[in-house]
Amino acid sequence: MLVFHINYYVVAITDVLTGKPLTSQDKFSFDLKPITSEEEWQLLIHKTLQDAEHLAVLIENLNPSYLDLEFTDPKYGTYYRNLLGVIEHTHYHLGQISILKKIITETKIREKDQHT
């Protein structure tokens, strides 16, 4: 769920950088159908990594003069604010994922130790 949520905003920024309108809405950023197989999980991971790479290339090639321009609408601030925002948002949730992974791993180890 968090991986989808992170990527939702990566795709939103990518769309704008490729000339598409901003159509994302916060209320849809968790709209992921349940993942029911390892294959579905791997597809989500693959898509997320591809989308992140695409965004990185777009940012690399972005004319610096865009950074101070309004990002689609004045209420969203500048391109700079939105690019920084998606980076901070990604790091925040990657931190959550890391903590959850650690908790799950430690719980499994404790449970295994209790049964041996």
* Per-residue model confidence as pLDDT tens digits over 47-77: 999 999 999 999 999 999 999 999 999 999 9
- Among 26-30, 45-49, 78-82, name the one with the lowest average pLDDT: 26-30
Which percentage of the chain shows pLDDT scores above 70?
100
* Domain contains 20: yes
* Domain contains 108: no
Q: Nearest Cα to 22, choosing from 8, 10, 11, 12?
A: 12
Domain count, the chain: 1
- Does residue 112 surpass a pLDDT of 90? no
* Domain contains 40: yes
* Domain contains 81: yes
* Domain contains 64: yes
User: What is the model's pLDDT at position 116?
Assistant: 73
Section 3-9 average pLDDT: 98
* Domain contains 7: yes
* Domain contains 61: yes
On average, the pLDDT of the chain sits at: 96
* Domain contains 113: no
Rg value, the chain, Cα: 18
Domain, as residue range, for 74: 1-91
CB of 29 within 8 A of CB of 8? yes
How confident is residue 113, by pLDDT bands cut at 50, 70 and 90? confident
How confident is residue 30, by pLDDT bands cut at 50, 70 and 90? very high
pTM: 0.88
Q: Nearest Cα to 13, choosing from 74, 89, 95, 64?
A: 89
User: What is the model's pLDDT at position 84?
Assistant: 98
